[in-house]
């Protein structure tokens, strides 16, 4: 007799509940939320929360019941993943508003106070230059935060677009930044056209963020290489730099909001760690993925993987 299609529900039937939920662990102790000892001793808490192997946050509600001579447990699982993610984003936003975006404004006030009380105040041009620097930093942080929030929550305006044109425009727009830093930006491979469906302004912003990062962390007289090619049903936009590289252990952390990995090695480079979080959000919402190939001292290559349109 041949075997029929695999039925996950039938595969779980008859299994002890603590085996079914064995990968549901307490986030702090990493111990299973449910165990045979706790069930037999009646020590299972009425509610507890943990994480499973897929990274979901699950609330487990346990209630004992008696049916005739049998004593059992009614166990309910509630998926709290989106709620926990929203709370985490709220906490990150509060930290950003209370610390990062306040810092430049506090510096402006401190500078003005020192100017009033100083025996040798700064010259007018120097004072205005410093105030402008802090104001620009504050404005840049606010704009980055708004862009990320928009990319995460707003509806995308999807239309057919040419990624080859988007890449060329991004390189052209980055010319001034690259020239000021003594960095060359080249496109060494691209097809005549590469159509996909997407929100062009957001895809362009994501690519600009990757390219600007590559230029910022590149040493003078180095080259940032860009390319666009097909891989299966996807288009791959690649940006490779000759910068300090990124430890492989830090790759996952890189795309989280407010993560900056080079604060110690490059303190002169400003930012709050929102640029790559926006890139990750935009690419994922377009049905694609973001790849990173990098190691310390070997530069970094970011690849934006986006689905090609049906006609391609």
291-309 pLDDT per residue, tens: 999 888 888 999 999 999 7
Q: What is the pLDDT of residue 30?
A: 81
pLDDT attached to residue 234: 95
The pLDDT value recorded for residue 99 is: 65
* Residue 259 token pair: 């993560």
User: Can you list the residues of the chain whose pLDDT is less than 50?
Assistant: 1-7, 262, 264, 266-267
pLDDT in the model for residue 4: 43
| Predicted TM-score of the model (pTM) | 0.62
Parallel/antiparallel/unpaired status of strands 300-307 and 234-241 = antiparallel
Number of CB atoms found within 10 A of residue 245's CB: 16
For position 5, what pLDDT does the model report?
47
At residue 26, the pLDDT reads 84
Tens digit of each residue's pLDDT (9 = 90 or more) over 255-270: 666 555 545 454 455 5
Q: What is the pLDDT of residue 9?
A: 54
Q: State the Cα angle at 208 between 207 and 210, rounded to 5°.
A: 65
Question: Does residue 312 sit in helix, strand or coil?
Answer: coil
**Hey, what are 244's tokens?**
């300090």
- Domain 156-312 = CATH 3.30.565.10: yes
pLDDT in tens, 68-113: 667 777 888 888 888 887 777 677 667 666 666 777 888 888 888 8
Q: Which helix (H) or strand (E) holds 216?
A: helix 200-216
Question: What residue ranges do the domains of the chain occupy?
Answer: 14-79, 83-154, 156-312
* Token pair in block for residue 275: 């640029």
According to the model, what pLDDT value does residue 273 have?
Answer: 60
**pLDDT number for residue 2:** 40
SS3 state at 163: helix
Q: If you average pLDDT over every residue of the chain, what do you get? A: 82
Q: What is the pLDDT of residue 56?
A: 86
């Amino acid at each position: 007799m041949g075997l029929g299609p695999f039925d996950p529900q039938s595969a779980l039937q008859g299994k002890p509940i603590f085996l079914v939920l064995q990968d549901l662990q307490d986030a702090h102790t990493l111990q299973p939320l449910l165990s045979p000892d706790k069930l037999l001793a009646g020590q299972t808490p009425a509610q507890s929360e943990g994480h499973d192997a897929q990274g979901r946050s699950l609330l487990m509600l346990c209630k004992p019941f008696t049916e005739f001579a049998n004593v059992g447990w009614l166990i309910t699982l509630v998926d709290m993943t989106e709620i926990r993610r929203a709370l985490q984003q709220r906490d990150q936003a509060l930290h950003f508003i209370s610390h990062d975006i306040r810092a430049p404004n506090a510096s402006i006030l401190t500078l003005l106070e020192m100017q009033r009380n100083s025996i040798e105040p700064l010259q007018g041009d120097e004072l205005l230059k410093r105030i402008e620097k802090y104001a620009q930093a504050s404005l840049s942080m606010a704009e980055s935060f708004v862009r990320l929030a928009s990319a995460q929550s707003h509806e995308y305006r999807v239309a057919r677009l040419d990624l080859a044109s988007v890449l060329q425009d991004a390189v052209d727009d980055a010319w001034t930044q690259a020239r000021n830093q003594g960095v060359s930006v080249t496109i060494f491979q691209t097809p005549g056209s590469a159509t996909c469906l997407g929100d062009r302004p957001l895809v362009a912003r994501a690519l600009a963020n990757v390219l600007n990062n590559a230029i910022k962390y590149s040493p003078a007289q180095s080259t940032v290489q860009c390319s666009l090619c097909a891989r299966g049903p996807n288009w791959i936009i690649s940006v490779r730099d000759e910068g300090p590289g990124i430890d492989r252990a830090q790759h996952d952390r890189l795309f989280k909001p407010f993560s900056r990995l080079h604060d110690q090695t490059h303190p002169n480079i400003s930012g709050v760690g929102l640029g790559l979080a926006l890139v990750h959000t935009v690419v994922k919402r377009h049905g694609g993925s973001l790849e990173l190939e990098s190691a310390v001292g070997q530069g970094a290559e970011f690849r934006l993987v986006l689905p090609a349109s049906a006609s391609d």
